[in-house]
Amino acid sequence: MVGSAFSGFAKRASAAETQYPPGIPAWTRSLGAGVVADPYGMPSPFEKGVIRRNVPWLTAEKKSSVSFSPLQHLKGIITPNGLFFERHHAGRPEIDPQQHRLMIHGLVERPIILSMEDLQRFPSVSQIHFIECPANGGMEWRGAQMNSLQFLHGMVSCAQWTGVRLSTLMQEVGIRPEGKWVLAEGADGAAMTRSIPLEKVMDDVIVAYAQNGEALRPEQGYPVRLVVPGWEGNTNVKWLRRLEVGDKPWMQREETSKYTDLMPDGTARGFTWIMDAKSVITSPCPEMPLKGKGIYQIEGLAWSGRGRVKAVDISMDGGRNWQKAQLQEPVISKALTRFALEWNWDGKPALLQSRVVDETGYVQPTLAQLKAVRGTSSIYHKNAIQTWQLNADGSVDNVQLG
Ligand SMILES: Nc1nc2c(c(=O)[nH]1)N[C@H]1C(S)=C(S)[C@@H](COP(=O)(O)O)O[C@H]1N2
Ligand SMILES: [Mo]
């Protein structure tokens, strides 16, 4: 184990370093701030670099844009609310929950209009699920572009969502036999709509009003959003105001054009709702270089829209040899799963990769395998194995193999 790597006790604190043991630091010799110094607690000022970031050139302006979560700094599997990635088509509206209503109508026996108070009177569930935008990593189909874990993979986040099962609300309104699809509409300027087949609606979709123990953040759809576990981020309609049961999918412009991929034969690949399994090493990564040879924990995140992560393998030589990583508990269906592997780095250049296998047996493809099927004209659903090139000086570069 690492014990011998740290020789802290051998080095006596100098007079100028009294904050280190056995010295007594200044903050131990005085009183700290009182309670409620910050009525709503904030991270330590020393963590000010741990923030969401956007790529200025990626979108024309910030109202229809995306911010990326700092995966390199996160621990465990829950994304803190202030660091959850954001994707808005028409900016983030500010909605007074008292004035917000959710209408459920269409092919139903008893249409209703619910206030937020009404909604919270239904039985609730709390479930941990990731949300990933299918455009995550989408700028890299033709070659490596971003030397950054945050910008390459930060359009995924994971929270514990609390709300009412959509199936519960559907029982309340009574779906007519012809009802096969549910259209969800947001209250933002985009009035974004998505159609979801009844099978999924009745399975595990949540009408969520809380996130990690508190009300949804405005960025995440306050006061209420849809959480569609394991499905494309865009189906998780935020600022939810309307659910309409219909007999077929509504072919909104967004639905037909925005989230389809152009295949090599010129056809479009659409209705690709489920997010295929994906994994990435979060340490080391371009933002988290190594500091000299020695023992490290290689860590990362894996997830699958089809269920639980079954295994993660790690390669240090660009995919020739693989070792099993350990999965950290809890391993939850359609949630981020953290993996780790102890590694004694000899200081030589290496090509680090992780490969996830989910409970359905799906194996994360190499980029070459994915390109063989999908070509390079896609934007969405790029779930290929990520290669990090570890250089002799400990720095890490995003490279593409094959
Ligand atoms: N009403 C509305 N819902 C929306 C969007 C939007 O612009 N408007 N963006 C969608 C997209 S494309 C994604 S990827 C997810 C992102 O959720 P997040 O911002 O909470 O991370 O929200 C979805 N729901
Ligand atoms: Mo998205």
Q: Is residue 293 part of a domain?
A: yes
Could you say which ligand is closest to the alpha carbon of residue 135? Answer: 2
Which one of the ligands is nearest to 191 CA?
1
Ligand sitting nearest the alpha carbon of 158: 1
Q: Is 269 in the pocket of ligand 1 (CB under 6 A)?
A: no
Q: What CATH number is attached to the domain comprising 103?
A: 3.90.420.10
pLDDT at 259: 63
Q: Based on the fold, state whether residues 129 and 258 are members of the same structural domain.
A: yes
Q: Whose CA is nearest to atom 10 of ligand 1?
A: 234
Question: What pLDDT does 234 receive?
Answer: 95
HSE of 299, CA atoms in CB hemisphere, 13 A: 19
Q: Among the three residues 217, 241, 270, which one is the final residue of a domain in this structure? A: 270
Per-residue tokens: 229: 């576990």
CA–CA distance, 140 with 384 (Å, rounded to integer): 10
Residue 60 or 387, more confident? 387
Classify strands 240-246 and 101-106 as parallel, antiparallel or unpaired: parallel
Q: What is the Cα–Cα distance from 194 to 255, expressed in whole angstroms?
A: 7
Beta-carbon contacts of residue 23 (< 8 Å; ≥ 6 apart): 13, 17
Burial track 298-322 (b if 16+ CB lie within 10 A, e otherwise): bbbbbbbbbbbbbebbbbbebbeee
Q: Whose CA is nearest to atom 1 of ligand 1?
A: 186
How far apart (Å, rounded) are the C-alpha atoms in residues 379 and 386?
16
Q: Which residue has the tokens 């699958």?
A: 304
In a domain, 101, yes or no: yes
Query: Do both 128 and 254 map to the same domain?
Result: yes
CA of 236 to the centre of ligand 2 (A): 9
59 or 23, which is more confident = 23
Q: pTM for the complete prediction?
A: 0.94
Nearest-ligand number for the alpha carbon of 67: 1
pLDDT value of position 61? 80
Question: Quick one: pLDDT at residue 252?
Answer: 46
Please state the rounded mean pLDDT for residues 243-251: 88
Which of helix, strand or coil describes residue 255?
helix
- Record the tokens describing residue 333, joined without a space: 């269906």
Residue 255's pLDDT is: 44
Q: Are 89 and 207 part of one and the same domain?
A: yes
Token pair listed for 107? 């092919």
Q: Determine, yes or no, domain membership for 13.
A: no
Q: Are residues 244 and 155 in the same domain?
A: yes
Ligand 1, atom 21, residue with closest C-alpha? 86
Task: Evaluate whether residue 6 is within a structural domain.
Answer: no
Residues 341 and 266 in one domain: no
Quick one: 233 and 359 in the same domain? no
Mean pLDDT value of segment 57-75: 90
The residue whose CB lies within 8 Å of the most ligand 1 atoms, and thus the one to mutate among 66, 88, 219, 252, is 88
Q: What is the mean pLDDT of the chain?
A: 92
Out of 61-65, 140-144, 187-191, the most confident range is: 187-191
- Token representation of residue 161: 């969502």
Cα gap 26→302, rounded to integer Å: 42
Distance 135 CA to ligand 2 centre (A): 6
Q: How far away, in angstroms, is 210 Cα from ligand 2 center?
A: 20
Question: Looking at the structure, do residues 264 and 282 belong to the same domain, yes or no?
Answer: no
CATH number at residue 305: 2.60.40.650
How many whole angstroms from 298 Cα to the centroid of ligand 1? 31
Which of 64, 133, 235, when mutated, tests ligand 1's pocket best, judged by the most ligand atoms within 8 Å of its CB? Answer: 133
Contact 84 CB / ligand 1 (< 6 Å):
yes
Report which bound ligand comes closest to the CA of 52.
Answer: 1
Q: Is 188 close to ligand 1, i.e. is its CB under 6 Å away?
A: yes
Q: Is residue 8 part of a domain?
A: no
133 C-beta closer than 6 A to ligand 1: yes
Site of tokens 């979560």: 69
Q: Is the CB of 239 inside a 6 Å radius of any atom of ligand 1?
A: yes
Same domain flag for 250 and 317: no
pLDDT at 64: 83
pLDDT score at 11: 56
Is 191 found in the same domain as 306? no
Asked if residue 139 lies in contact with residue 154, where contact means CB atoms within 8 angstroms, the answer is: no
Q: How many domains does the chain have?
A: 2
The residue among 270, 294, 318 that closes a domain is: 270
Query: Quick one: 209 and 241 in the same domain?
Result: yes
- Using a 6 Å cutoff on CB, does residue 217 contact ligand 1? no
Boundary residue ending a domain (246, 270, 294) = 270
Region 38-44: what's the mean pLDDT?
Answer: 97
Residue recorded with tokens 């939850």: 332
Any ligand 1 atom below 6 A from CB of 88: yes
Are 114 and 223 a contacting pair, CB within 8 Å? no
- Please provide the DSSP assignment of 320-353 as one string: SS-EEPEEPSP--TTS-EEEEEEEEE-SS-EEEE
At residue 6, the pLDDT reads 55
By mean pLDDT, which of 136-140, 213-217, 315-319 is the weakest? Answer: 136-140
Residue 104's pLDDT band (cuts 50, 70, 90): very high
Pair 303, 314: CB distance under 8 Å: no
> Alpha carbon of 370 to those of 166, 226, 274, 373: distances in Å?
34, 30, 16, 5
The 8-class DSSP code of residue 26 comes to: G
Check residue 188 and give its pLDDT.
95
Question: CA-to-CA distance for 244 and 236, rounded, in angstroms?
Answer: 15
Residue 7 lies in a domain: no
| Residue found under tokens 């390079």 | 376
Please tell me whether residues 130 and 258 are part of one structural domain. yes
Clarify whether residues 230 and 309 are in a common domain: no
3-state secondary structure of 153: helix
The per-residue pLDDT for range 161-172, each reduced to its tens digit, is 999 999 999 999
Tell me if 110 is assigned to some domain: yes
Domain hosting residue 137, numbered range: 82-270
* Domain-embedded: residue 15: no
Residue with tokens 């979709």: 205
**Distance of CA 298 from the midpoint of ligand 2 (Å):** 29
User: 305-359: per-residue pLDDT in tens?
Assistant: 999 999 999 999 999 999 999 999 999 999 999 999 999 999 999 999 999 999 9
